[in-house]
Structure 1
Amino acid sequence: MTVLEKAKELAQAIAECDELKEVRAAETRMTLDPDAQDILREFQIKQREFYNIQVNGGELTEEQMRDVERIENRMSQNEYIRKFVGAQERFEALLNSVNMIIAQAISGNSGCGCGDNGAADCCDSGCSGCN
């Protein structure tokens, strides 16, 4: 089997994984919730506004910082947004694990087994400093 065939096989497995299904289901539920949509719309408007301020060398005022906090609080309090974000984080963790496995295979490094995921980057000095 060629590398590209293996890549297609991996892509298919990711497309069919429970983590991605959970993201899609959570996104659908979130888009059907009017409150979640209002919060997200407000977030996007403020995000653009604050981005433009910062790009032009400005800094956010205390009131604008409070706006950011308020919107973030509303987002974290909305069940549908919270579930969507959690599902996204779990899917991202899966993709990070896949990337780590690929990177370790390419580098010939199997990881040192320390850290939360047995990651080779658990020590500044690499795996030799872990043991």
Structure 2
Amino acid sequence: MKTSEDIIRLAMELGNALAQTDEIEQLKNLQTVLNEDTSSFDLIVRYQEARMKLEKQQDEGKIISKADEDYLQILEDQLAGNETIQQLMGAQERFDNLMQAVYYAINQAITGDQCSSGCDSCGCDCGTM
């Protein structure tokens, strides 16, 4: 039987392995690019502020003006058209998919279940699940 210390050691090994993946390297590189691209970074900040303002108004039961909705839509369109932001979002999605596959594999190991339709269903290519 594995001890808690064994499990923590294995988790550290998994974390170190994840840190060496292309997914995390690309994500870190694109985060650095974004931090250096002030116009893209400022666009994200403006969008987050506008979205939070609208969410607060909704939570308070206030009516959201058409101008505020239009402004948020303009910012969303600008985000969608910004290559740096789109690259970052793609890298984030690939990393999230990797983490979901890792979680799924761990869950499968704990429960003893098998992949329902082969490895493609869990994202792995191990051939054993």
| TM-score, structure 1 normalization | 0.80
Unaligned runs of 5+ in 2: 123-129
The offset of 1:85, in angstroms, is 0.6
Unaligned runs of 5+ in 1: 120-131
Percentage of matched positions with identical amino acids:
25
TM-superposition CA deviations, 1:61-112 (whole Å, max 9, x none): 3333222221111011111111111100000000000000011111110111
State the secondary structure of the residue aligned to 1:57. Answer: coil
1:75 aligned to 2:75? no
Displaced runs of 4+ in structure 1, greater than 6 A? none
Specify the alignment match of 1:32 in structure 2. Answer: 36
Amino acid at match of 1:105: A
TM-superposition CA deviations, 1:1-23 (whole Å, max 9, x none): 72222111101111221101111
Amino acid at match of 1:67: Y
State the secondary structure of the residue aligned to 1:45. Answer: helix
Q: Distance in 1 between matches of 2:18 and 2:10?
A: 12
Root-mean-square deviation (Å): 1.9
Specify the alignment match of 1:128 in structure 2. Answer: none
Specify the alignment match of 2:121 in structure 1. Answer: 118
The offset of 1:47, in angstroms, is 1.9
Amino acid at match of 2:121: G
| TM-score, structure 2 normalization | 0.81
1:19 aligned to 2:23? yes
Bigger mean CA deviation after superposition, 78-87 or 60-69:
60-69
Q: Distance in 2 between matches of 1:60 and 1:10?
A: 46
Specify the alignment match of 1:106 in structure 2. Answer: 110
State the secondary structure of the residue aligned to 1:111. Answer: coil
From the superposition, tell whether residues 59 and 17 of structure 1 become closer, same or farther in structure 2 (CA, over 3 Å): farther
The offset of 1:49, in angstroms, is 0.8
Aligned length: 118
Amino acid at match of 1:97: A
Amino acid at match of 2:85: I
